[in-house]
Amino acid sequence: MAKRIEASNVTAYYGGFKAIENINLTVEPKTVTALIGPSGCGKSTFLRSINRMHEVLPGARVEGSLTIDDQDIYDRDVDVTAVRRMIGMVFQRPNPFPTMSIYENAVAGLRLNGVRKKSILDEAAEKALRAANLWDEVKDRLGKPGAGLSGGQQQRLCIARTIAVEPQVVLMDEPCSALDPISTLAIEDLMFQLKDKFTIIIVTHNMQQAARVSDRTAFFSIEKTGDPGRLIEYDNTQKIFSNPTQKKTEDYITGRFG
Partner 1 sequence: MGETPHRSADAGTGGTRVTESHEWPAGASARVAEAPVSTRTPGGTGLGGGGALPRARAFGAERAFRGLTLAAGTAVLVIIAAIAVFLVAKAVPALRADTANFWTYEGWSPNEAQPKFGIGTLAFGTVLSAALGLLIAVPVALGIALYLSHYAPRRVGTTLGFLIDLLAAVPSVVFGLWGREIFINPVRDFSVWLNKYFSWIPLFGGEGPFGKSILLGALVLAIMVLPIVTSLSREVFLQTPTANEEAALALGATRWEMIRTAVLPYGRPGIIAAVMLGLGRALGETIALAMTLGITFGISFNLIQNGGNTIAANIANAFGEANETGRGALIASGLVLFAITLIVNITARVIIYRRREFTESAA
Return d(Cα 201, Cα 172) in angstroms, integer: 6
Return d(Cα 216, Cα 239) in angstroms, integer: 9
Q: Which residue in 21, 5, 27 sits closest to 218, CA to CA?
A: 27
Which is closer to partner 1, CB of 124 or CB of 211?
124
Return d(Cα 218, Cα 93) in angstroms, integer: 23
Which is closer to partner 1, CB of 2 or CB of 207?
2
Q: What are phi and psi of 35, to 5 degrees?
A: -105, 120
Which is closer to partner 1, CB of 105 or CB of 217?
105
SS3 string of 86-121?
Answer: HEEEECCCCCCCCCCEHHHHHCHHHHHCCCCCHHHH
Closest distance between partner 1 and the C-beta of residue 243, in Å?
A: 35
Closest distance between partner 1 and the C-beta of residue 87, in Å?
A: 9
User: Do 190 and 163 contact (CB within 8 A), yes or no?
Assistant: no
Which is closer to partner 1, CB of 58 or CB of 226?
58
Which is closer to partner 1, CB of 18 or CB of 85?
85
Q: Which residues bind partner 1 (CB under 8 A)?
A: 51, 53, 56, 58, 81-85, 88-89, 91, 93, 95-100, 108-109, 111-113, 144-145, 147-148, 158, 161-162, 165
Closest distance between partner 1 and the C-beta of residue 219, in Å?
A: 25
Closest distance between partner 1 and the C-beta of residue 110, in Å?
A: 9
Tell me the torsion sign for CA atoms 123, 127, 128, 129: positive
Helix (H) or strand (E) holding 18: strand 17-27
Closest distance between partner 1 and the C-beta of residue 88, in Å?
A: 7
Which is closer to partner 1, CB of 154 or CB of 204?
154
Spatial neighbors of 132 by CB under 8 A, at least 6 apart, are: 156, 157, 159, 160, 163, 190
Closest distance between partner 1 and the C-beta of residue 16, in Å?
A: 17
